[in-house]
Chain A
Amino acid sequence: MPASFMPSAQELMRFAPEMLLTLAGTLIMLLEPFTESGNKSRLAWLALGALLAALGLTAVSAADPGPAFSNMLLIDEFGTFFRFLVLAVGVLTILISTHYLRSGGHESGEFYALLLFSIVGQCIMATANELIMLFIGLEVSSIASYVLAGYLRDDKRNNESALKYFLLGSFATAFLLYGIAWTYGITGTTDLSLIRSALLNPASRPNEVLTAAASAFLFVGLAFKVSAAPFQMWTPDVYQGAPAPVTAFFSAGPKAAAFAMFLRIVLTGFEPLKKEWEPLLWVSALATMIIGNFAALRQTNVKRLLAYSSISHAGYVLVALTTHSGPGAAAAMFYLAAYCFMNVGAFAIITHVARRDERYVEIADLAGLGTRQPLMAGLLTVFLLSLTGIPLTAGFFGKFYIFKVALDQGFIWLAILGLLNSALAAYYYLRVIVVMYMEPAPEGEGELPAPAAGVLAAAVGSAIATFFLGLFPSSLLDFADKARRIFN
């Protein structure tokens, strides 16, 4: 027991980004009733400023790594990596959302506040070193997400999406909590490093049945959050129904944070149970890749297509996780960063093309985009090529490192099946490109307006990140490699 429950100034500083975002979110809620309906974008600016300040504070706190609040949080390089990532996703999401909300007449402060709260939860997931803290972070993130999914109250699709997400999400969370309870029962602690030593201690080595049950429950909860098979069913429906900018956010931020949590649990506290987890991860990785890719082949709705695509990408990251190795963690981190930028970028363009009330979200609606708006089509092509894994883009190196690690660690069949899967994926990504460039624009469709500045900024920024990571992968990989050293 620590001598004092009062956190020191040092600890508060390590927690500063989350505190700042919470304050900013609350402030936005307070200001909302006093803001004229024409001036709501000021609140967006406020949220954007808060996120940028939080990025700055994350950099400051990275200079002084260490635990906070009696070891419940651990601000290390791993956590910093994911904090940066979810904050960047937040910035991009706000850039994409403002125009979308304004054009539909739905702009209000709650949206931005909820977004900030959700990101607070994700930052906690990234840095928590203790199962209860992880759970709190997850719930903070999820509950805000459930509301965001149904943000357009009058839209049926939004309602469906929110309800499904909420019910299934609660179901999964219950399993996660049950797993935490079992773990506490076995080891007498919820601190990950203490769990690890308890599991390693031969004197107190627990019963195999008990550890298997704990592992299974935890796995179910985590697999749901990263939409891994067989717990991926909610993903297409929720992604398709939620507002497009929210889907962009869901597919990147919460998923990256959930993987951060997954990595930390699997590689620290439950590392001694490697043998128990490996077959689960192996089968789930393979099934996730196959289900995601095969289902994506026949989709006609772009949002649904990208939903299945995001399932398959979770499968690739699970391949890295299956290896239970430090290099695997680094590869997974790199992949998630690459994936966040290319996926949010793709959704930015989809948001733009979908227009008000999302009337244009079929693949066919993209026909002729190459001639109508060459810049937008070019950017989407970059993101799709990167999702395919074409060299010179981030996606290539993401896959390259993951399959290399899998081969190095002896998961040869998994790597081969994964490679075949990623070859198959080229089909549905290229189909979209073909439609954009080689089919004439449909007749009698409304004029496609010029892209909003925010969407353009988000898409260009993501494209720059995609190319940068594709050309200089070592810049990020070195960082990820340093960060993964905590898993030894």
Chain B
Amino acid sequence: MNFLDLIWLIPLFPLAGAAVQLAIGRRLPKSAISFISPGAVGISLLMSIGAVVQLAGLERRSHEVRLFEWLPLIKADMGFLLDPLSSVMILVVSGVGFIIHVYATGYMAHEHGPNHGGFYRFFGYMNLFVFFMLMLVLANNYALLFVGWEGVGLCSYLLIGFYFHKKSAGDAGNKAFIVNRIGDAGFILGMFMLFQLTGSLRFVDVNEVLRSGRFAVELGTFGALSLCALCLFIGATGKSAQIPLFVWLPDAMEGPTPVSALIHAATMVTAGVYMVARSNALYALTPETSHVVAAVGAATAILAASIGLVQNDIKRVLAYSTVSQLGYMFLAAGVGAYWVAIFHLYTHAFFKALLFLGAGSVIHALGGEQDMRKMGGIKDKVPVTFRTMFVASLAIAGIPGLAGFFSKDEILWQAWSSPLGSKALWMVGFATAAMTAFYMWRLMFMTFYGTPRMDEHTLHHVHESPKSMTVPLVILAAGSVVAGWIGMPKVFGENGFMQALEHWRAPVFAQGHAAAHEAASHAHHDTTMEWVLMGLSIGVALGGIFIAKALFFGGGNIELRTGGPLYPVLLNKWYVDEIYNFLFVKGLTINGGGAMARFDANVVDGGVNGTAWMTRMVSRISMWYDTWIVDGLVNLSAFTVRALSFPVRFFQTGYLQTYALVFVMGILAIFGYYWSR
């Protein structure tokens, strides 16, 4: 079976799943949906594996399938590109996606939602999300990528606001939607500039033009290319929650936990990193923008980690942790180490998805409690959840041998050694690593150790989650251990896996960054330094864990306010939300006079109210659709079948004479045909 020519089928299975569930899901039993939804993603996973295995066998590891011309005006095809970069992405999306779908069948089992509609809508939207995400990473041009980009945003919005009867959930959905619109505007601008500059939106063509030498490297200047790259990066900051557009992601945790794990940790939020890596030929020509990318990444990493230090909501800690890790990825991309950014994206998908799913399991066990101050002492009651989260926390903290160590260490090394890097960037990343270890282990100690702090009733009902939830946890835990091994640092010797990975990706980033190559050769001289830095980061990870243990082990000190004088600032997330509110919402009304006030009242509030209204409308439409269209169609189709099978049954009497009669009628019809010709 030639999977390579069938890659366009990969996104279609989840689309078909979504179509079936959203169209007739209300009529299907839950068991059917629990089968269709993960099944559709599972088939995509199998086809992705098949395609990637076959791609590995090709001489030139790049395969493009162009179905038809889609937008002639901007020369965009309905086309799909499989190369090492998109290979990693489809495996992450369909693999982790499949595991999370299975988990969700257990997690959402008791979900009735309003009008009992929740279950099938949830899984329909989840499949739809996977479809758009696969379109995003398999697209062979920016325009089609943008379709996926907008689509995942839409699904994210629908899923965040899934509990639309909860006001905070609706608000969070709106916030994500509006903030992302700002980023999308940047993306569109960047995309059109790129088309003006290179005459194409097809990745292969764009890269060819950019690498042809027609454009000089904009070193020390800020020309059209740099502006274009910056616009694209603004798009990335929206989707991937970077400064200044990171504010939506923590609020997005209002959605159901599997959504947080799939969309807001493992896949959608990494779309920005993927897009920047995909545009590496552009960023190679624009070192000034690359500096911006690295600086924004580093700043986001440390800012989010610092907020994570003091949060008490278990999912919020993980949310800020995600923002911080995404910052790491941009830091790597900004210093030209795109393959390292993708490597971290890939390891992060495992351990962060695991942390969210584990947190979901804890919340599930505690009957919906998310405040870590009301947890504690449950490690023996939820042994699988505890052990798997233990592994993930070691992985994210950067303990050697686990996935996070290899990728994070590689980022820090690139930040130090790359020509685009600097000691300052390394320092920021290094400090972030310390904070990461601390807040993760603070979470572990507060949640699982010490004495229980929940009420008697809740404690009594603490139970391990069903198999459908724990098995995915175990699989992801295994992934959190082994996923990093393919990317061992070079100082451990010429490791076959590492070579494989780097060479695998090489065609995508070929001559992408002279700097990266220099860095690679540079590395050979400087193994001592790499050992030293690695030792330091291991030390700082262990240090973070021990400080957390000293402060929070046993749970006696749960109200402890870390951060000293900065505590209120951190707890209030550096007042970023308030500042934005003041500057962009209130500021405009007060200082901008009546016109601005009207603008605010009609446009901004209108937008906010509009989206809230939209959520309600979507649900109302879906109810109307279920009642009239679905039920109507079911009745209609039953009628049609009866009507159409009538002639068949009319003649299928069982009497031989009738059969012979029909036989003769058939012969007469054939002769009649020849006669009339």
Contacts and interface: CB of A to CB of B under 8 A. Distances in A.
Interface in A192-248: 209, 212-213, 216, 219-220, 224, 229-231, 233-234, 236-237
B47 A391 contact: yes
Contacts of A417: none
A41 to B, nearest CB: 36
Interface string B637-675: 000011011001101101010111011011101110110
A297 B645 contact: yes
A216 B663 contact: no
A212 B1 contact: no
Contact of A168 (B29, B31, B642, B656): B656
B46 interface: yes
Contacts of B645: 294-295, 297-298
B9 interface: yes
Contacts of B671: 213, 216
Contacts of A291: 648
A171 interface: yes
Among B29, B47, B667, max chain A CB count under 10 A is at B667
Interface string A250-279: 000000000000000000000000001001
Contact of A473 (B1, B658, B673): B1
Contact of B673 (A224, A231, A279, A438): A279
Contact of A437 (B31, B649, B663, B669): B31
B68 to A, nearest CB: 14
A81 interface: no
Given A216-B667, A473-B1, A171 B660 contact: yes
Contact of B666 (A167, A212, A220, A391): A220
Given A216-B671, A434-B32, A438-B29, A298 B666 contact: no
B418 to A, nearest CB: 44
A223 to B, nearest CB: 8
B431 interface: no
Contacts of B641: 294, 297-298
A230 B664 CA distance: 9
Contact of A171 (B6, B32, B663): B663
Which of B9, B47, B642, B648: most chain A CB closer than 10 A? Answer: B648
Interface in B230-265: none
Interface in B1-21: 1, 6, 9
A22 B573 CA distance: 89
Interface in A402-451: 434, 437-438
Contact of B665 (A164, A230, A298): A230
A63 interface: no
Q: Number of contact residues on B: which range applies?
A: 20 to 34
Given A168-B660, A233-B662, A437-B31, A295 B1 contact: no
A39 B29 CA distance: 50
Contact of B1 (A167, A216, A470): A470
Contacts of B35: 437
Interface residues of A, number: 39
A230 B31 contact: no
Nearest to A473: B1
Interface string A445-488: 00000000000000000000000001111000000000000000
Contacts of B651: 233
Nearest to B658: A233
A132 to B, nearest CB: 23
A116 B669 CA distance: 38
A59 interface: no
B673 A236 contact: no
Contact of A230 (B6, B644, B662): B662
A434 B29 CA distance: 10
Contacts of A175: 667
Contacts of B662: 230, 233
Given A216-B674, A434-B32, A438-B31, A237 B654 contact: yes
A20 interface: no
A215 B152 CA distance: 58
B43 interface: yes
Contacts of A163: 656
A46 interface: no
A392 interface: yes
Given A279-B673, A434-B32, A167 B667 contact: no
Interface in A384-405: 391-392, 397
A276 B677 CA distance: 10
A56 to B, nearest CB: 30
A279 B648 CA distance: 22
Contacts of A295: 645, 648-649, 652
A236 B648 CA distance: 11
Nearest to A236: B652
Most-contacted residue by chain A among B9, B645, B669, B671 (CB, 10 A): B645
Given A168-B660, A298-B645, A233 B652 contact: yes
A280 interface: yes
Nearest to A296: B645
Contact of B663 (A168, A279, A434): A168
B663 A164 contact: no
Given A220-B670, A291-B648, A298-B642, A233 B663 contact: yes
A101 B644 CA distance: 39
B666 A168 contact: no
A216 B670 CA distance: 7
Given A437-B31, A438-B32, A472 B1 contact: yes
A213 B667 CA distance: 11
Contacts of A231: 663, 666
Nearest to B35: A437
B23 to A, nearest CB: 13
A294 B648 contact: yes
Looking at A212, A219, A233, the one whose CB has the most chain B CB atoms below 10 A away is A233
Nearest to A230: B666
Given A438-B32, A471-B1, A473-B1, A233 B659 contact: yes
Contacts of A171: 660, 663
Interface string B21-45: 0000000010110010000000100
Nearest to B665: A230
A437 B46 CA distance: 23
Nearest to B13: A391
A233 B661 CA distance: 10
Contacts of B652: 233, 236-237, 295
A295 to B, nearest CB: 5
A298 B658 CA distance: 21
B27 to A, nearest CB: 12
A164 B656 contact: yes
A438 B674 CA distance: 52
A472 B645 CA distance: 38
Contacts of A213: 671, 674
A168 B43 CA distance: 45
Nearest to A224: B663
Contacts of A473: 1
Contact of B656 (A167, A172, A216): A167
Contacts of A212: 674
Contacts of A234: 659
11 contacts: A168-B663, A220-B666, A230-B663, A231-B663, A233-B652, A294-B641, A294-B645, A294-B648, A295-B652, A391-B6, A391-B9
Interface of B: 1, 6, 9, 29, 31-32, 35, 43, 46-47, 641-642, 644-645, 648-649, 651-652, 654, 656, 658-660, 662-663, 665-667, 669-671, 673-674
Interface of A: 163-164, 167-168, 171-172, 175, 209, 212-213, 216, 219-220, 224, 229-231, 233-234, 236-237, 276, 279-280, 291, 294-295, 297-298, 391-392, 397, 434, 437-438, 470-473
Given A219-B670, A237-B652, A392-B1, 4 more contacts: A163-B656, A295-B648, A297-B645, A397-B1
The 8 closest A-B pairs by CB, nearest first: A230-B666, A233-B659, A212-B674, A295-B648, A216-B670, A294-B644, A297-B641, A438-B31
